[in-house]
Amino acid sequence: MRNPSCLAIILAAGDSTRMKSRRSKVLHPVAGRPMIAHVLDAISEAGVSEAALVVGRDADAIGTAATGTNVQIETFLQSERLGTAHAVLAARAAIARGYDEILVTYGDVPLITGATLRAARTALADGSGVAVIGFEAANPTGYGRLLVKDGELLAIREEKDATDEERLIRRCNSGIMAISGRHAIELITQVSNDNAKGEYYLTDIVEIARARGIATSVVDADENELAGCNNRQDLAAVERFWQERRRRELMLSGVSLIAPETVFLCHDTVIEPDVTVEPNVVFGPGVRVETGAVIGAFSHLEGAHVSADAHVGPYARLRAGSRLARGSKVGNFCEIKNAMIGEGTKVNHLSYIGDAQIGSGTNIGAGTITCNYDGVNKHLTTIGSRAFIGSNASLVAPLNIGDGVIVAAGSTITADVPSNALAFGRARQETKPERANTARKTSRA
């Protein structure tokens, strides 16, 4: 059998009032990435490559946030917010192209997995005309309740329209559902707004379908996966669920997180097995850590590649373009930016290394600073292999320091140093015997 064709419809026209934000809520990040992009990834994992995005505002910004996923999107504007069925019909032109399946998702439910969406598609393949993703709510207040009898979904009752008895039901509607493409328009156009909120409820299609002899079903999923974001508190809860899920995956894949609840990951963080991450580490975007590396406590990394067996921190900051070669070490209170730290090279204490290339087996003394910025431009510092940079050196870029060089502690180096040279760039020390005592006497007099 050929693969059924499927169009995802993402509802994102809500006015985000409770977020109290200038931006649509679907642009707010979870794990460093707009919510809408998470939803598109799940859609893609469910084998769907086309999506209609129903938005009320910020159409361009939402469209931009949605690029860079594997899903081709088309944006539809719902200018009046008349309910979820009305929102789906904003994408009517796309539905009318004819798909075997329509998958309705929400832009503000970002943790939905591809597996759950696929389960809803499978329910259609197994004969349902409408397959609703449901969950057992710890607190069902505000959700539509699933009226299920003998395993069959009879109806979805919105809270405001429910009887006291129906409100006791804890099995709730996530809002996400798969609809047979053959029936979608016919069912949704039958929905009226004759209810407590005066809205066109998409949920009404369950009863409409059953009245026509079309089968309906529930696909159960985990409540946390279906968490929505209405305000900043919800956003923080969703972030927490995402972090918990990712930490668990990493640990099961062989990464040691000593205090997992204190490690913050980004959507694209890659950590190989046998890496140890100590407590209180933050990963920003674009980090890759190879096997055997240790990320010490209180380190902050972004845009960094940490090679095998390298050691970072505690208290290190790796910024964009940091590349640490195998077995290198960046210690406490060091900042690295756009710099290559060669194999086995050590930058152990209190240094700033920016816009630099350092060879292998070099030692960068405590407090070394690459002076990379002249107030207008950034300049490069290159340091060879097996060099020794004494403590508190200022390396004024552009600068080339060769292999095997020794730079004396406290030097300000402004000119290139050829390989194997010893460079001093500091005032010669003067020592006056007994002058300390003379000075003290003068002061006291």
Residues 6 or more apart whose CB falls under 8 angstroms from that of 157 comprise 144, 145, 147, 163, 166
Asked if 76 is part of the footprint of ligand UD1 (rule: CB under 6 A), the reply reads no
Can you say how many angstroms the Cα of residue 123 is from the centroid of all Cα atoms in its chain? 30
By CB under 6 A, residue 367 contacts ligand UD1: no
Place of tokens 């190879």: 290
Based on the shown chain and the rule CB under 6 A, indicate whether residue 202 belongs to the binding site for ligand UD1.
yes
H-state helical runs in 59-108: 59-66, 84-89, 92-95
User: Of 29 and 303, which CB lies nearer to ligand UD1 in the complex structure?
Assistant: 29
User: Among residue numbers 78 through 97, which ones bind ligand UD1 (CB under 6 A)?
Assistant: 78, 81-84, 86-87
Task: Give the CA distances from residue 353 to residues 70, 242, 292, 423, in Å, rounded to whole numbers and listed in that order.
Answer: 37, 33, 24, 19
Asked if 66 touches ligand UD1 (CB under 6 A), the answer is: no
Write the interaction track for ligand UD1 spanning residues 220-259; mark x where CB under 6 A is met and - where it is not: --------x-------------------------------
Q: Which of 175, 181, 260, 344 binds ligand UD1 (CB under 6 A)?
A: 175
Query: Which residue is nearest to ligand UD1, using beta carbons?
Result: 144
In whole angstroms, the minimum distance from the beta carbon of 115 to ligand UD1 comes to 20
Dump strand ranges (E) for 13-139.
Answer: 29-30, 33-34, 50-55, 72-77, 101-106, 130-136
Q: Cβ neighbours of residue 82 under 8 Å, at least 6 residues apart?
A: 193, 199, 200
Write down the least CB distance from residue 150 to ligand UD1, Å: 22
> How many CB atoms neighbour CB 190 within 10 A?
15
CB of 90 to ligand UD1, least distance (A): 8
Between CA 133 and CA 120 the distance in angstroms is 7
Show the site string, 123-162: x = touches ligand UD1 by CB under 6 A, - = not. --------------------xx-----------x-x----
- Report the nearest approach of ligand UD1 to the CB of residue 17 (Å): 11
The C-alpha atoms of residue 404 and residue 362 are separated, in whole angstroms, by: 8
Of the pair 86, 305, the CB lying nearest ligand UD1 is at 86
Question: Near ligand UD1 by CB under 6 A, which window of 58-66, 104-112, 118-126, 430-438?
Answer: 104-112
- Buried (b) or exposed (e) across 10-29, using 16+ Cβ within 10 A? bbbbbebeebeeeebbbbbb
Least distance in angstroms from the C-beta of 171 to ligand UD1: 11
Task: Look up residue 69 and give its amino acid.
Answer: T
- Binding range to ligand UD1, per CB under 6 A, among 43-51, 58-66, 101-109, 333-341: 101-109
Q: Does 12 engage in binding with ligand UD1 (CB under 6 A)?
A: yes
CA 445 to CA 434: how far, in whole Å? 17
The reply to whether 173 sits near ligand UD1 by the rule CB under 6 A is yes
**CB within 8 A of 45, min separation 6: which ones?**
113, 114, 115, 117, 118
Point out which span in 168-176, 180-188, 332-340, 394-402 binds ligand UD1 (CB under 6 A): 168-176
**Residue 389 to residue 368: CA distance in whole angstroms:** 8
Binding region for ligand UD1 (CB under 6 A): 11-14, 54, 78, 81-84, 86-87, 106-108, 143-144, 156, 158, 172-175, 201-203, 228
